[in-house]
Amino acid sequence: MKKGIILSSVFLLSMAEPVKVNTQLSVKVVDREGITHQLKGISCNGRTYLKVKEGGVEYAVPFEDVRHIRVLSQKEDGLEVDVELRGGLKKHIRLDLGTYCTSISELGRANFYIRDVRDIFIERGDGR
């Protein structure tokens, strides 16, 4: 019985659609150790937008609209970050501690928690 459950679980997981990232975005991630990673595209928690919270309201911010994310601090209930949008708007907001991102590099698929980075810079393919 256990073998059947394990096999069907593996089969279902293998059918899962891979996480899609917009490879038209150039992403530079600076981790907590100061190492810079040049990546293409970004997806966090399987989404093509960043799920953030300001006060009691949640927002979905498309990565195409984000210029810079700076992680300021980590607290029990989330991450304090500054987000700068392409239009110039800057906001001090909160992210979930478990925000897990995926991107593509020359080395292979890159995976990271936002809590483990200092900065994320995003440029669109048109240079903006």
pLDDT tens-place string over residues 43-73: 999 999 999 999 899 999 999 999 999 999 9
- Of 26, 122, 120, 123, nearest in space to 72 by CA: 120
DSSP 7: H
pTM score, two decimals? 0.81
Domain boundaries, the chain: 19-124
Torsion sign across C-alpha atoms 102, 67, 99, 43 = negative
Are 61 and 47 in contact, with CB atoms under 8 Å apart?
no
What is the third-level CATH fold of 19-124? PH-domain like (2.30.29)
Look up residue 5 and give its amino acid: I
The pLDDT of residue 18 is above 70: no
